[in-house]
A and B are shown apart, each in its own frame.
Chain A
Amino acid sequence: MTERRLLVDIHRRLPSFTLDLQLEVGEEVLVLFGPSGSGKSMTLESIAGLVTPDRGEIVLDGRVLFRRGPGNAQIDMPARRRGVGYVFQSYALFPHLTVLGNVRYPLRGDPRARERALTLIDQMGMTQLVDRLPHQLSGGQQQRVAIARALARDPEVLLLDEPFSALDPGLRERLRTDLRALQLERRLIVICVTHNVEDAFALGDRLAVLRDGELEQVGTVGEVFHRPSSMSAAEVLGIRNIFHARVSSATADCVVLDWEGLRLHAPAQSCSPGEPVPVYVAPEDVKLLYPDRPVLGSLAANQLSARVMSIQNRHDIQIIRLLLDNGRELEARGASYFYRELDLHPGAPVLITLRQEGLRILREEDSG
C-alpha cells in the first residue's frame, strides 16, 4: 500500500503580506509553526477549500482539489467534496445540536449514521455525554467532539487550528497522545497549526516554520530546533530560550537540573537522573526582580544573577536579553511598565528568576 501524499502549492496576495508556500505532506503529523498573522490559518483554509488562492495547485492522493493558473484548466473543488476534516480553533460545535447530533451531522444520508456516530463517540470515550449540548461540555470534551465530528466521514486529511490553545497542560498532554494514535490508526495526513513549542515537539513528525506567508524551514522537529536554518526561523521558534541541561535528580515533586553550573528547579516531569535534556523556558517566564521586594512562590526557586545585554521596546512590550553566569543567554519579555523603576541599561547587573512551572523539558519524537 503506497502512502498517500498531499501536495500543496499556493499563492495568495493579502493586504499585509503575500502567502506563498509549497508543501508536501505524507501520512504523518506536520506542524505548521509561526506567529499570528503569518498565514497559518489561511493555509489550512485553502487546503480545506474555504478560501481560494490566487493561483497554485493542491493535489491529494493523485486527485486535484484545486488548480488555478495561466493556461491551466481551473479546478476548485468545493469544501464538501475534498475529503478534508477540519478542527477549528474555537471547535465550532453546532450549539443547537447535542454531541450525537454534532458527530452525526456529516453523515446525513448514511443509513448507518447513528451507529457510526455512536461508535466514534465511544472511541473518544464520551459515551455518557451523547445527549449533552456543547455549552455543557468542558474545553477538552468539546475538543474531542470536534475531532470525532471531523473524522466521521473518514477523511484522508485532518487539519487542526491551534487545537490545544485553551487547555491546561495535563489535558494537552493527553490529547496530544490521542491525536498521534489517531493519525497512526487511520493513516491520516495531519497538519496542525500551533505557536506552542511544546506542542510542536510532542506532536510533530515534521515542522514547517512559517513567517509572513513564507516558509522559513521544513524538516524534522529535532532538526529544525537544533539547527535553525536562519535567524528568522530561529526568531519564530523562540529558540533563544532553549538550552541543554543535565538532570541532577528527579523526584515526585520536582526535577533538579544542572545547566552548565547553574542549578535549576523544574516541575516534576518524566526523566532520568543524569540524562541530558533540552529545556525550554518561555521569555514571559523569565522575570527580573526588584531587590527590595519579597519573592513569592514559584518565583523563589530559580533566582540567578545576570547582566543586561540589550533592551528592545516593541509596542508595550520590553524584550531584554540577559547574559548569565554560565555564559549562556536568555531572553525575558514583559510589559513595558514592569521594570520601569529598575535602572536598566546594557551592562547593568540584575537579579532574575525563572518561574519554576515554566521550565519544560522538551521531548522529541524519535526520528527515522
Chain B
Amino acid sequence: MGWQAFRISMEVTAVATVLVVIVGTAAGLLLARVRFPGIQLVEALFMLPLVLPPSVVGYYLLRFLGTGGPVEGLFGVNLVLTWGAAVLASAVVALPLMVQAARTAIRGVDPVLENAARTLGSSEAAVFFRVTLPLARRMLIAGAVLSAARALGEFGATLMVAGNIPGRTQTLPLFVYDAVYNHQYGTVNLVVGLLTGLGLVSFIVIGRLDPAHR
C-alpha cells in the first residue's frame, strides 16, 4: 500500500508541477511586464491559496469540480474523488509559489535586452523564448522545485475533494495519516523519512540555484 501511495504521489506531483510551471510562468510574465488596471487584484487572487486554510481551498474545489460547478458544465465530467482532483488540489496550493518566483525572475531580466531583441528581428514570442526565458531560467527552475515540494505535501484540500482511496487518490501524506491510525509505525517512519529527505533535497537544490547564495 505504501508503494501505491508513493506512485500516486509521484504522478500527481509531476502532473501538478507541469501545470503549475506553465500557468505560473504565464502569470508571472503577465504580472511582470504588463501594466493594466486591477493588476494588484489579479496578483492577490493568485496569491490567495497561500494564506487560505486548506479546508477553505478544499471547499472551493468541491464547488468548482462538483455538481453544478463550471468544470462539470463545460466538460461534462465530475472530478470529485478522482486522481484529477488530487492533481488540481496540489496545483492550486503550489501555484502562488511559482507565480512569485516567475514574476521575480522575469523582472530580473533587463528590459533593455528585450528591446534589443525586438530591434534584432524577434517577435514578442521570440523575445520571451530566446532572451527572457534563458536569462530567468535559474529562478524559474527554483520556483518549479519549490512548487513541486509544496504539491507533494498537499493534504487537507486533497482529503476533502479527492478522498482517501488507496490505489486511486491516496497520496503519501494521506497514507501517513491512515498508517498512523493503523499503527503501521515502521512504514510511517520510512515514508516520513522519505518525505523529509525530499524536502531537504529540494531546498538544497533551490539554494544552489539562487544567485544570492553564490
Report A's interface with B, CB cutoff 8 A. Answer: 45, 48-50, 78-81, 84-86, 88, 90, 92, 94-96, 105-106, 108, 149-150, 152-153
Contact = CB atoms under 8 A, between A and B. Distances in A.
A135 to B, nearest CB: 13
Interface in B122-151: 122-123, 126, 130-131, 134-135
Contact of B135 (A95, A105, A108): A95
B4 to A, nearest CB: 43
A48 B119 contact: yes
A92 B135 CA distance: 13
B116 A86 contact: yes
Contacts of A95: 113, 135
A96 B135 contact: yes
Nearest first, the 10 closest Cβ-Cβ pairs linking A and B are: A106-B120, A92-B116, A79-B118, A86-B119, A80-B121, A106-B121, A96-B134, A92-B112, A79-B119, A50-B115
A86 B115 CA distance: 10
Contacts of B123: 78, 80
A149 B134 contact: no
A95 B131 CA distance: 9
B135 A153 contact: no
Nearest to A80: B121
Nearest to B124: A78
A88 B110 CA distance: 13
Interface in B102-119: 110, 112-113, 115-119
A88 B120 contact: no
A50 B113 contact: no
21 contacts: A49-B119, A50-B115, A78-B123, A79-B115, A79-B118, A79-B119, A80-B118, A80-B120, A80-B122, A85-B119, A88-B112, A88-B116, A92-B113, A92-B115, A92-B116, A105-B130, A106-B120, A106-B121, A150-B119, A152-B120, A153-B120
Contacts of A153: 120-121
Nearest to B127: A80
A50 B110 CA distance: 15
A87 to B, nearest CB: 9
A89 to B, nearest CB: 9
A78 B119 CA distance: 9
A105 B120 contact: yes
Contacts of B120: 80, 105-106, 149-150, 152-153
Considering residues A92, A108, A153, which has the most beta carbons from chain B within 10 angstroms of its beta carbon? Answer: A92
Contacts of A79: 115, 118-119
Given A80-B123, A88-B112, A92-B112, A50 B135 contact: no
Contacts of A88: 112, 115-116
B118 A50 contact: yes
A50 B119 contact: yes
Contacts of A105: 117, 120, 130
Nearest to B119: A86
A267 to B, nearest CB: 35
A91 to B, nearest CB: 9
Contacts of B117: 94, 105
Contacts of B112: 88, 90, 92
B99 to A, nearest CB: 24
Contacts of A84: 119
A50 B119 CA distance: 8
Contacts of A81: 121
Contacts of A150: 119-120
A80 B122 CA distance: 6
Nearest to A96: B134
Nearest to A107: B121
A152 B112 CA distance: 19
Interface string B10-41: 00000000000000000000000000000000
B93 to A, nearest CB: 32
Contacts of B131: 94
A147 B165 CA distance: 64
A153 B120 CA distance: 8
B139 to A, nearest CB: 14
A256 B112 CA distance: 45
Contacts of A80: 118-123
Contacts of B121: 80-81, 106, 108, 153
A80 B123 CA distance: 7
